[in-house]
């Protein structure tokens, strides 16, 4: 990064918002996938659209690669910095600019936290539907880049179904508007909003996003079913799907995940091999009718215990355990990899049996927490980074799980994106022609490939994978882990 | 320390809870960032001096602890890290002097009174104190209130329901003796026999928080024999003392009397928690409706997980209407050292807190901690608002006595 570039940044940012010292940059080294660490050359924390635009133009002019960063909760290394590159931290741009309950839209800055939109919309009986487990901290900008989804996306779709329009600055500095504020406007011409959503920060930066708000369901009915066999829980999902019911959410946790969630939030889950959470939502009459049908199906599915949430607190407690399950696994293992793959729902039981077999083969523990309703698996592979070769082994297991997903007719990512972690699996999923088209599109928009360079496409610069060896203090005998 | 660092999975769930992150919007001033900086210092990939400003900016409010699904004990990490750094830290000479003053004066109400009255102690001291305590000094009036010594034993009124001892506290005792006085009266009115052991003293938390580990141990130890064995609890009215004593386990690690320290710590309970679990017997209430906002002290809410205890007490009082406020869990920026080191942050947190309190239109603010009380009084004063701020013990005493 040359001096002139830094000097130009200095003319945009006051010193507190232009970070160049080690101590300021180290905390930006990784996102939530800590196996990758790269210190950027600098980071800026813009406070306005104009600053972002000026920064991107500067990057283009000086051919400096940049990475947009929301809250850094990506699980695939999506917001991993580029050495010699710039981090553009968007978390300070967190204003909700407009909330129109009549039109049921909100216009927000990219650093707005997902849950904040729902909180702001609540007084009007509205909410923002996509609910990643990280909704209390992840930003709309990050959600757009990864087309994030959550437990309730089964019924209402992922982020792409809820973004109506956005103002963006493309990687070459062009500022433009995609889509519009009304749902009708979306249908005309090519779906540029759709193109940008899921582009993993490779096209540029979303500056202002118009999202759709939905009326809060009148009624939720949440059922928790316990099974003594994981495959049986998977089969229950297939039964619900086959019945034609469309629940708001269907989630499965296995024994290990249950244990972690219990340790973390004491949800009071039953002691089981697998738990299935099914939630119906919508208008009271309909939900009550569907609930009877659902109860019949669950009873016939071999669950040994069925609980129905009788209050909002009980419902919240069921969900809290599920939503905190990923991070809670940190209590069980010093290190883990969260995998994210998709299998057709009809083959869920099969996939779980296969994962069980792989687990045996590698001698590693795998905790399963997943959006069963849309076949989105989240196996968490537990390993101990202190053991030589453990990380490689865990990664090999992760690779086999992804191959399994593709072989069963599914996909290598449901919602966490390709980022740094999965770029080498892209050819397993897409043909050469498809990859070429993606590259051509990308180069048309970003000829210098400065936006999030090295992500998503296979190859590129070698990832900055840092070996999880023994902790230096452990080597010195100063500390030890139980 | 290492376990806390290892357990952090970098998920960021703690970020929205952190006052400095929400204010400054930079990763270095977030719990996740601070943990990462401490990790780098311990691994010697970063100098402690470089990391220090960010660690110093941490309020120690512990809001990040309950927010963390992975169970990272940030508090333990911070205390251990500060103890470690304190051993090596080179402070500017004035700072060092102020620290000595803190260590030699604050824990001892008599010395402190003397020092305070001979004047000017305040400013020198404040610079060396952690947030939880230094704010007390802002109460430093022109003239200190006269001591309000409690009788060694205040008998229970009516049927005897429990026996407790009051932890005298240090600075609070000199600056706001009315708090413990009110606590004793409120407890007695509810059938509790209240002991005030004459030789009991500072619990050492104040020194633990400035990283003066050895002196903290000595002070803590002095208390061990001072409390009667047959009491049900040792009551504290200062949130900082309560949470500090719960850190005894860390402080006394590897000490021969670790068990004794643990037994002592187990007996210590905050005033509101004790009274709410005992159940209030007397609650005459107020003649006219009082609209009350309860301000959570971080050292009660986050450090000791007490969200509902004080609220439960207040809600039982006839004619007292408890009002919810936005962002109730956010630290008020409780001033003191923080105010001097980080005036902008402390003041901004205070302003935000006062704004959300005023939005509820209360006519009384209640808190369980002198630090918060001071900060809120100052912030209210600067907005020209005469809204009173009082300790919950005082309000409950008044409510029990049925006075208006
Ligand atoms: C515990 C945990 C649970 C999770 N659960 C889920 C889940 O249930 N579902 C799910 O989908 N994800 C989940 N995630 C992953 C993650 O939270 C999402 O990918 C989220 O969308 C990332 O948001 P962020 O603000 O942290 O973005 P970051 O991690 O900061 O960035 C992610 C990507 O977005 C790009 N980006 C950020 N802002 C912009 C912008 N304004 N314009 C263009 N590109 C931008 C970045 O360059 C990067 O490539 C989880 C993560 C964690 C840690
Ligand atoms: S919530 Fe806990 S695990 Fe997650 S980043 Fe914060 S401290 Fe680390
Ligand atoms: S203790 Fe408070 S200020 Fe410090 S990191 Fe945690 S939440 Fe932030």
**pLDDT tens digit sequence for A41-62:** 999 999 999 999 999 999 999 9
What is the pLDDT, as a whole number, of residue A339?
Answer: 82
Per cent of chain A over pLDDT 90 is 63
Which residues of chain B does A21 touch, with a Cβ-Cβ cutoff of 8 Å?
50
Element (H, E) at A127: strand A126-127
* Distance (Å, whole) CA A217 – CA A290: 14
Nearest alpha carbon to residue B237 among B281, B282, B197, B181? B181
**pLDDT mean over B229-252:** 89
pLDDT at B351 over 50: yes
Most confident of B73-77, B116-120, B233-237: B233-237
Q: Place B123 in a pLDDT band, splitting at 50, 70 and 90.
A: low
How do the residues of chain A divide into helix, strand and coil, expressed in percent and rounded to 5?
40, 20, 40
pLDDT at A467 over 60: no
What is the pLDDT, as a whole number, of residue A478?
Answer: 37
What is the pLDDT, as a whole number, of residue A479?
Answer: 38
Round the average pLDDT of chain B to a whole number and report it.
85
Cβ contact (<8 Å) for B15 and A23? no
Q: Place A465 in a pLDDT band, splitting at 50, 70 and 90.
A: very low
* Distance (Å, whole) CA A236 – CA A372: 10
CATH code for the domain defined by A96-215? 3.30.465.10
Distance A75 CA to ligand 1 centre (A): 7
* Distance (Å, whole) CA B300 – CA B238: 9
By the 8 A CB rule, do A263 and A328 touch? yes
How do the residues of chain B divide into helix, strand and coil, expressed in percent and rounded to 5?
50, 10, 40
By the 8 A CB rule, do A184 and A161 touch? no
pLDDT at B15 over 90: yes
Tens-place pLDDT, residues A178-221 = 998 776 655 677 889 999 999 999 999 999 999 999 999 999 99
Tens-place pLDDT, residues A172-190 = 999 999 998 776 655 677 8
Tens-place pLDDT, residues B166-219 = 998 777 888 888 999 999 999 999 999 999 998 888 888 878 777 778 888 999
- Indicate whether residue A134 lines ligand 1 (CB < 6 A): yes
- A167-202 CB burial, b ≥16 within 10 A, e <16: bbbbbbbebeebbeeeeeebeeeeebbbebbbbbbb
**pLDDT mean over A11-22:** 96
A478: left (phi over 0), alpha (psi -120 to 50) or beta: alpha
What is the pLDDT, as a whole number, of residue A425?
Answer: 84
**pLDDT mean over A323-346:** 82
Task: Record the tokens describing residue A201, joined without a space.
Answer: 């920060």
Residue ranges of chain B whose CB lies within 8 Å of a chain A CB: 1-3, 6-13, 15-16, 25-28, 30, 32-33, 36-37, 40, 42-46, 50-51, 54, 68-72
- Indicate whether residue B12 lines ligand 2 (CB < 6 A): yes
Ligand nearest to the CA of B345: 3
Q: Which CATH class is domain A333-444?
A: alpha beta
pLDDT at B97 over 70: no
- Indicate whether residue B20 lines ligand 3 (CB < 6 A): yes
Least confident of A226-230, A336-340, A353-357, A447-451: A336-340
Cβ contact (<8 Å) for A331 and B6? no
pLDDT at A65 over 60: yes
Q: How far is A333 from chain B (nearest CA, A)?
A: 8
Tens-place pLDDT, residues A336-379 = 888 888 998 888 888 888 998 999 999 999 998 888 888 888 88
Task: Record the tokens describing residue B370, joined without a space.
Answer: 């002198």
User: Is 3.30.70.2190 the CATH number for A219-328?
Assistant: yes
- Indicate whether residue B37 lines ligand 3 (CB < 6 A): no
**pLDDT mean over A90-119:** 97
Per cent of chain B over pLDDT 70 is 87
CATH code for the domain defined by A3-89? 3.30.43.10
Q: Residue B206 to residues B97, B203, B210: CA-CA distances in angstroms?
A: 17, 8, 7
Q: Place A328 in a pLDDT band, splitting at 50, 70 and 90.
A: confident
* Distance (Å, whole) CA A477 – CA A204: 47
Tens-place pLDDT, residues A398-425 = 889 989 999 999 888 877 888 888 888 8
Cβ neighbours, 10 Å, residue A92: 17
What is the pLDDT, as a whole number, of residue A7?
Answer: 96
- Domains of chain B plus CATH, in order, are 2-88 (1.10.1060.10), 282-401 (3.40.50.11810)
Cβ contact (<8 Å) for A136 and B8? no
What is the pLDDT, as a whole number, of residue B4?
Answer: 81
pLDDT at B129 over 50: yes
Query: In this predicted model, which residue has the larger pLDDT, A106 or B106?
Result: A106
Q: How far is A280 from chain B (nearest CA, A)?
A: 26
By the 8 A CB rule, do B48 and B88 touch? yes
What is the pLDDT, as a whole number, of residue B403?
Answer: 43
Query: In this predicted model, which residue has the larger pLDDT, A372 or B112?
Result: A372
What is the pLDDT, as a whole number, of residue B122?
Answer: 57
Q: Residue A305 to residues A228, A270, A276, A295, B346: CA-CA distances in angstroms?
A: 10, 8, 11, 12, 52
pLDDT at B90 over 80: no
Tens-place pLDDT, residues B334-346 = 754 565 567 788 8
Domain(s) of CATH 3.30.465.10: residues in chain A: 96-215
pLDDT at B139 over 90: no
Ligand nearest to the CA of B56: 3
Which residues of chain A does B28 touch, with a Cβ-Cβ cutoff of 8 Å?
23-24, 27
Q: Place A473 in a pLDDT band, splitting at 50, 70 and 90.
A: very low
Looking at the DSSP bridge assignments, the partners of residue A374 are: none
Tens-place pLDDT, residues B286-314 = 888 999 999 999 888 888 888 889 999 99
Q: What angle do CA A279, A284, A286 make, to 5 degrees?
A: 75
**pLDDT mean over A3-15:** 96
Cβ neighbours, 10 Å, residue A11: 8
Element (H, E) at A66: strand A66-69
Task: Record the tokens describing residue A467, joined without a space.
Answer: 């070996």
Q: Place B142 in a pLDDT band, splitting at 50, 70 and 90.
A: low
By the 8 A CB rule, do A275 and A224 touch? yes
pLDDT at A468 over 60: no
**pLDDT mean over A106-116:** 97
Tens-place pLDDT, residues A251-273 = 999 999 999 888 887 888 999 99
Distance B4 CA to ligand 2 centre (A): 10
Query: Cα A184 to chain center, whole Å?
Result: 28
What is the pLDDT, as a whole number, of residue A466?
Answer: 45
A255 in contact with B at a CB cutoff of 8 Å? no
* Distance (Å, whole) CA B205 – CA B374: 19
CB-nearest to B12 from A26, A32, A263 is: A32
Per DSSP, helices labelled H in B106-257 are: 109-117, 121-126, 131-137, 171-175, 177-189, 205-209, 213-223, 239-245, 248-251
Which of B21, B31, B209, B298 has most ligand 3 atoms within 8 Å of CB, for mutation?
B31
pLDDT at B240 over 70: yes
């Amino acid at each position: 990064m040359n001096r002139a570039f830094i000097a130009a940044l200095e003319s945009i940012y006051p010193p507190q918002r232009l970070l160049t010292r080690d101590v300021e940059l180290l905390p930006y080294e990784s996102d939530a996938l800590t196996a990758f660490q790269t210190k950027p050359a600098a980071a800026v924390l813009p406070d306005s659209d104009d600053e972002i635009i000026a920064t991107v133009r500067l990057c283009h002019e000086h051919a400096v690669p940049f990475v947009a960063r929301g809250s850094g909760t990506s699980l695939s290394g999506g917001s991993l910095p580029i050495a010699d590159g710039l981090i553009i931290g968007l978390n300070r741009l967190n204003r909700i600019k407009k909330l129109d309950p009549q039109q049921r839209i909100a216009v927000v800055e990219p650093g707005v936290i997902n849950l904040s939109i729902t909180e702001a919309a609540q007084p009007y009986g509205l909410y923002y539907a996509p609910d990643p487990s990280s909704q209390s901290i992840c930003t709309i900008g990050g959600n757009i880049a990864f087309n994030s989804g959550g437990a309730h996306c089964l019924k209402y779709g992922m982020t792409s179904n809820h973004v109506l329009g956005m103002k963006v600055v493309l990687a070459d500095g062009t500022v433009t508007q995609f889509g519009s504020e009304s749902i009708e406007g979306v249908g005309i011409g090519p779906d540029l909003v759709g193109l940008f959503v899921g582009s993993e920060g490779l096209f540029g930066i979303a500056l202002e996003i118009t999202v759709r708000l939905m009326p809060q369901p009148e009624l939720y009915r949440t059922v928790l079913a316990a099974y003594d066999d994981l495959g049986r829980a998977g089969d229950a999902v297939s039964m619900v799907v086959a019945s034609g019911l469309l629940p708001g959410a269907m989630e499965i946790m296995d024994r290990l995940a249950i244990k972690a969630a219990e340790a973390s939030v004491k949800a009071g889950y039953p002691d089981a091999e697998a738990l299935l959470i099914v939630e119906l939502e919508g208008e009271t009459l309909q939900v009550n009718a569907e609930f009877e049908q659902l109860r019949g199906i669950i009873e016939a599915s071999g669950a040994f215990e069925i609980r129905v949430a009788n209050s909002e607190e009980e419902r919240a407690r069921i969900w809290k355990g599920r939503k905190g399950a990923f991070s809670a696994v940190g209590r069980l293992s010093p290190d883990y990899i969260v995998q994210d793959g998709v299998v057709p729902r009809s083959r869920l039981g099969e996939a779980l049996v296969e994962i069980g077999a792989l687990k045996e083969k590698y001698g590693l523990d795998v905790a399963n927490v997943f959006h069963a309703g849309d076949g989105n698996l989240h196996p968490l592979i537990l390993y101990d980074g202190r053991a030589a070769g453990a990380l490689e082994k865990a990664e090999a297991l992760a690779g086999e799980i992804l191959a399994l997903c593709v072989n069963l007719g599914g996909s290598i990512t449901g919602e966490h994106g390709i980022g740094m972690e999965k770029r080498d699996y892209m050819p397993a999923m897409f043909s050469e022609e498809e990859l070429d088209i993606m590259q051509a599109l990308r180069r048309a928009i970003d000829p210098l490939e400065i936006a999030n360079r090295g992500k998503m496409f296979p190859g590129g610069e070698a990832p900055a994978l840092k070996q999880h060896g023994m902790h230096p203090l452990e080597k010195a005998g100063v500390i030890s882990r139980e | 320390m290492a376990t806390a660092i290892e357990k952090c999975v970098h998920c960021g769930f703690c970020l929205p809870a952190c006052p400095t992150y929400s204010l400054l919007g930079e990763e270095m001033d977030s719990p996740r960032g601070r943990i990462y900086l401490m990790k780098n210092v311990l691994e010697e990939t970063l100098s402690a001096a470089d990391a220090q400003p960010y660690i110093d900016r941490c309020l120690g409010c512990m809001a990040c602890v309950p927010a963390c699904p992975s169970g990272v004990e940030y508090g333990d990490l911070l205390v251990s890290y500060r103890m470690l750094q304190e051993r090596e830290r080179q402070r500017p000479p004035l700072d060092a002097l102020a620290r000595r003053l803190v260590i030699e004066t604050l824990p001892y109400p008599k010395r402190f009174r003397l020092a305070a009255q001979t004047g000017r102690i305040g400013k020198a001291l404040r610079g060396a104190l952690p947030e939880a305590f230094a704010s007390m000094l802002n109460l430093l009036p022109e003239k200190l209130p006269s001591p309000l010594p409690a009788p060694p034993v205040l008998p229970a009124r009516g049927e005897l329901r429990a026996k407790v001892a009051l932890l005298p506290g240090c600075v609070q005792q000199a600056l706001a003796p009315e708090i413990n006085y009110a606590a004793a009266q409120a407890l007695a009115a509810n059938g509790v026999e209240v002991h005030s052991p004459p030789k009991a003293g500072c619990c050492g938390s104040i020194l633990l928080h400035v990283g003066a580990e050895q002196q903290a141990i000595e002070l803590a130890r002095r208390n061990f024999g001072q409390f009667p064995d047959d009491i049900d609890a040792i009551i504290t009215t200062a949130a900082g003392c309560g949470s500090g004593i719960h850190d005894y386990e860390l402080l006394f690690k590897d000490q021969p009397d670790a068990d004794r320290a643990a037994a002592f710590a187990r007996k210590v309970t905050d005033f509101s928690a004790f009274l709410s679990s005992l159940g209030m017997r007397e609650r005459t209430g107020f003649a006219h409706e009082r609209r009350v906002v309860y301000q959570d002290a971080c050292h009660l809410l986050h450090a000791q997980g007490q969200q509902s205890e004080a609220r439960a007490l207040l809600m039982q009082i006839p004619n007292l209407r408890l009002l919810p406020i936005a962002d109730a869990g956010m630290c008020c920026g409780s001033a003191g050292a923080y105010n001097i080191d980080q005036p902008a942050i402390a003041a901004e947190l205070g302003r935000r807190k006062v704004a959300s309190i005023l939005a509820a239109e209360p006519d009384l603010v209640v808190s369980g901690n002198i630090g918060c009380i001071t900060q809120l009084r100052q912030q209210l004063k600067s907005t020209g608002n005469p809204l009173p701020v009082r300790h919950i013990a005082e309000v409950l005493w008044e409510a029990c006595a049925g006075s208006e």
